[in-house]
C-alpha cells in the first residue's frame, strides 16, 4: 500500500448480500470508493472509504453551472484469478481532456492510475468471474464550491466507485437518423464526457422512442448530412466489406472501444476506413445491400447491433444480425483480449 493515500476501510464487507451471478447493470456498488478534494489551489490527500451517501452544499457550483465530468471503464477477471484493467491510461487522459474543456482541476495521471489500482485491490472480491460480467468503474468529478455566480469553481470533488455488472443487453436496436436536434457542434463540448451532454440528449431520444426507435443516429450540427455517433456510443458500419467509422474530432467523442475495435480489425487484416460518412451514402448502401452490418461501440455494452435505420421518410432494415460476420468476430476477439484468453498484441491489459 502506498502512503500517498489514506485508508479508512469498512469493518464488514457487504458482499455476502450480493449475488454476483445475477447482476443488474449499475445498481450494485462495491464496498469502497476513492475520494479526493481540490481546494486552496491543490489536491488534498486521497481517501479510500466506504461507498455511501455524501454531504454537499446546495450551492455546490456543479449543481448549478454544470462543471461535472465522468469516465466509464471496466476491469476483468483473468483465467489465473488475477484482475486486469483495459487500456486505463486512455480513460485517464480523456478525463483530463474533459476537465480542461470544463475549466476544472486536472489530475496527476500516475496518481489517478494508482488510485484505480488500489481501489480494485481493496474490492478485488467484487470483480465477478462470469463470462459476461465485469467490474464497471466510474471515476467522476464535479465543482463542489458553495458559491452563486458563474465562474470556474475553486473547489472540486473527485470520486471513483465501482459496480460489479452483468451483461448490458440492449438487444438489437432500431436507430433514427436525427436531422433536427444535435448532440455536438464544432467548437462545443462533444469530445468531453461532460454531464450536460447527456442531459441534452435525453429529450430527443425520448422523442425518437415515441416514433418507434430505440436510439438516435446523430448527424453533424451544421448540415445534418454526416453521421457522427449512435446514442452514447460510437458507430461502425460494414460497407462493401470494409469497416467504416466516422472520424473522431471535436464533435465525435474518441471512444476507447471504437479505437480498440478498429485497431484489432486492422491487425486481423480487415480493411478499415476512418472518414466522413454521409447519410446519403449510408442510405444508398442500405438500399443496395452494400451495408451489411452496423453497430454501436462503447464500454458499457461493448457492441450493439443496429437492425434497422430510420432515414428521413424511409426505414431500411439491415440483413438479419444472425448472418453478420465481422461484428461477431471482432466482439469475440476484443472480449477474449480483455478477459486474458486471447492475444494482446498491443499490450492493452494492465494486470493489477
245 scored as a contact of ligand PLP (CB under 6 A): no
Q: Which of 299, 304, 318, 324 binds ligand PLP (CB under 6 A)?
A: 299
CB 229, min distance to ligand PLP, A: 5
302 scored as a contact of ligand PLP (CB under 6 A): no
**How many residues at the interface with ligand PLP, by CB under 6 A?**
13
257 vs 292, which CB is nearer to ligand PLP?
257
- Which 186-215 residues touch ligand PLP, going by CB under 6 A? 193
Residue nearest to ligand PLP (CB): 255
233 scored as a contact of ligand PLP (CB under 6 A): yes
253 scored as a contact of ligand PLP (CB under 6 A): yes
CB 253, min distance to ligand PLP, A: 4
139 scored as a contact of ligand PLP (CB under 6 A): no
219 scored as a contact of ligand PLP (CB under 6 A): no
CA 190 from chain centre, in angstroms, equals 13
257 scored as a contact of ligand PLP (CB under 6 A): yes
6 vs 276, which CB is nearer to ligand PLP?
276
Using CB under 6 A, which of the segments 50-58, 256-264, 307-315, 326-334 binds ligand PLP? 256-264
Q: Which of 120, 256, 282, 318 binds ligand PLP (CB under 6 A)?
A: 256
- Which 65-84 residues touch ligand PLP, going by CB under 6 A? 72
Binding-site ranges for ligand PLP (CB under 6 A): 72, 193, 229, 232-234, 253, 255-258, 298-299
Amino acid at each position: 500500500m502506498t502512503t500517498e493515500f489514506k485508508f479508512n476501510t469498512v469493518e464488514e464487507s457487504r458482499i455476502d448480500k450480493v449475488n454476483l451471478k445475477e447482476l443488474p447493470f449499475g445498481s450494485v456498488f462495491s464496498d469502497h470508493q476513492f475520494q479526493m478534494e481540490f481546494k486552496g489551489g491543490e489536491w488534498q490527500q486521497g481517501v479510500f472509504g466506504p461507498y455511501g451517501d455524501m454531504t454537499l452544499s446546495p450551492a455546490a457550483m456543479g449543481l448549478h453551472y454544470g462543471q461535472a465530468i465522468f469516465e466509464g471503464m471496466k476491469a476483468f477477471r483473468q483465467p489465473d484469478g488475477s484482475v486486469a484493467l483495459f487500456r486505463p491510461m486512455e480513460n485517464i487522459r480523456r478525463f483530463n481532456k474533459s476537465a480542461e474543456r470544463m475549466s476544472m482541476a486536472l489530475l496527476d495521471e500516475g496518481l489517478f492510475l494508482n488510485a484505480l489500482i488500489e481501489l480494485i485491490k481493496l474490492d478485488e472480491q467484487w470483480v465477478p468471474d462470469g463470462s459476461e460480467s465485469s467490474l464497471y468503474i466510474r471515476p467522476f468529478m464535479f465543482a463542489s464550491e458553495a458559491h452563486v455566480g458563474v465562474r470556474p469553481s475553486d473547489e472540486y470533488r473527485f470520486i471513483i466507485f465501482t459496480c460489479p455488472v452483468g451483461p448490458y443487453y440492449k438487444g438489437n436496436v432500431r436507430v433514427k437518423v436525427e436531422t433536427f436536434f444535435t448532440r455536438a457542434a464544432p467548437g462545443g463540448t462533444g469530445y468531453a464526457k461532460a454531464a450536460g451532454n447527456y442531459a441534452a440528449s435525453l429529450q430527443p431520444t425520448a422523442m425518437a422512442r415515441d416514433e418507434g426507435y430505440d436510439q438516435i443516429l446523430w448527424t453533424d450540427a451544421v448540415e445534418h448530412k454526416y453521421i457522427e455517433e449512435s446514442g452514447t456510443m460510437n458507430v461502425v458500419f460494414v460497407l462493401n466489406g470494409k469497416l467504416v467509422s466516422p472520424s473522431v474530432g471535436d464533435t465525435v467523442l474518441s471512444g476507447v472501444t471504437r479505437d480498440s475495435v478498429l485497431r484489432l480489425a486492422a491487425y486481423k487484416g480487415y480493411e478499415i476506413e476512418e472518414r466522413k460518412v454521409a447519410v446519403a451514402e449510408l442510405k444508398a448502401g442500405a438500399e443496395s445491400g452494400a451495408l451489411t452490418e452496423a453497430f454501436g461501440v462503447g464500454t458499457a455494452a461493448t457492441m450493439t447491433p443496429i437492425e434497422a435505420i430510420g432515414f428521413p421518410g424511409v426505414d431500411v432494415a439491415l440483413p438479419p444480425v444472425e448472418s453478420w460476420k465481422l461484428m461477431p468476430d471482432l466482439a469475440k476477439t476484443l472480449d477474449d483480449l480483455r478477459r486474458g484468453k486471447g492475444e494482446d498484441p498491443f499490450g492493452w491489459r494492465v494486470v493489477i
